[in-house]
Amino acid sequence: MRIVVLSGGIGGARFLRGLLAAVPTAEITVIGNTGDDITLHGLRICPDLDTVMYTLGGGIHEEQGWGRSGETYAVAEELAGYGAQPQWFGLGDRDLATHILRSQLLAAGTPLSAVTDRLCARWRPGVRLLPMTDDPVETRITIKDGDQLRSVHFQEYWVRLHAKPEPVAVELAGIATAKPAPGVLTAIAEADLVLLAPSNPVVSVGPILAVPGIRAALVDSAAPVVGLSPIVGGAVVRGMADKLLPLIGVPTSASGVALGYGPELLDGWLVDTVDAAEVDQVAVSGIECRAVPLLMRDLPATVAMAQAAVDLAGQVAVA
């Protein structure tokens, strides 16, 4: 079975761990969000790709959900000693090695997809990890700063400003000319099943779908497309997606996100059992919908979630 998963960072990575355990013989291709990527201190950082790679490769800081286990911060302390800016993004020493190698390869002209392959050769994540695009795309948030509007990189909004300023708009700079990374469209065309991880619909799955050609390929695909709601009980399970959903006109609800993706894209949708009342609201649009536990409390719970998504896809495909 060939499965394609659209994934952001922490939530997507944990979901993938469950999926790998649920269907260990499946060939899984992950299309990762790169809109969060940022260049700091001259080094190229791909938070979502790295979180997937480290999580599946056994290098993740488990409690934190991002960054490396056993991390130290000698380089960051020294950069601060030089007064080098910015200082709001915590760059660990182990993690930095990834960014140093990536930056060196990118500077030598290696596309990000090939760089990611090179990095994964060490981590052996058990999936094929593809960036959504090799082209630079930058998710920017326009915020209210007093009575001024200001555009900041998503990482600055998220990490530095803790999503506190009122967001006015989200923009994907560079998206119009971005091309799907090599392998992305083929993986979708050859997939038996496509899953949308329970990642942020605005800044994780959204940018992937916005790369010209990807959404159309998913809509055209014969494979069922099944998503898992990142909203449980009307609130985000993790992160701050609720701050951003209004920007794309989507209510903060399990059904709202499904309808935001739309029935032309989604064949199936999983909501949490607490949102069982929303199943009909989704189903009426033509999206098969089931209510199952969607909290990734531990690996067994995550495996069950992944299995439910695979099962729903099977039912949709037969139907």
- Interface contacts to a second copy, rule CB under 8 A: 41-43, 72, 74-79, 81-84, 93-94, 96-98, 100-101, 103-104, 107-108, 118-119, 122
Side chain identity at residue 239, one-letter code: G
Tokens 């990095």 label which residue? Answer: 119
- Strand pairing partners for 38? 45
DSSP code, position 26? S
CB of 189 to a second copy, least distance (A): 32
What value, to the nearest 5°, has the Cα angle with vertex 221 and ends 244 and 211? 40
Pick 42 or 300: Cβ nearer a second copy? 42
- Residue whose token pair is 């990890």: 129
Q: Which DSSP category does 77 fall into?
A: H
Nearest distance from residue 155's CB to a second copy, in Å? 17
Which residues lie closer than 8 Å to 42 by C-beta, 6 or more apart? 103
Least distance from a second copy to the Cβ atom of residue 301, Å? 32
C-beta of 24 vs 83, nearer to a second copy: 83
* Rounded CA separation 149/107 (Å): 34
Q: How far is the CB of 186 from a second copy (least distance, A)?
A: 27
Nearer to a second copy, 81 or 146 (CB): 81
CB-nearer residue toward a second copy: 97 or 284: 97
Of residues 68 and 290, the one with the C-beta less far from a second copy: 68
Shortest distance, CB of residue 122 to a second copy, whole angstroms? 5
Nearest residue (CB) to a second copy, 57 versus 268: 57
Answer for the pair 33, 204: CB distance below 8 angstroms, yes or no.
yes
Q: How far is the CB of 187 from a second copy (least distance, A)?
A: 25
Cis before 293 (ω within 30) = no
CA nearest neighbour of 316 among 221, 184, 216: 221
Question: Least separation, in Å, of the C-beta of 120 and a second copy?
Answer: 11
Nearer to a second copy, 84 or 176 (CB): 84
Which regions of the chain does DSSP assign to beta strands (E)? 2-7, 27-32, 38-40, 43-45, 128-131, 138-145, 148-153, 167-173, 193-196, 225-228, 231-232, 235-236, 268-271, 288-291
Residue with tokens 């969000």: 33
| Separation CA 183–CA 165 (nearest Å) | 38
Q: How far apart are CA 68 and CA 53, in angstroms?
A: 11
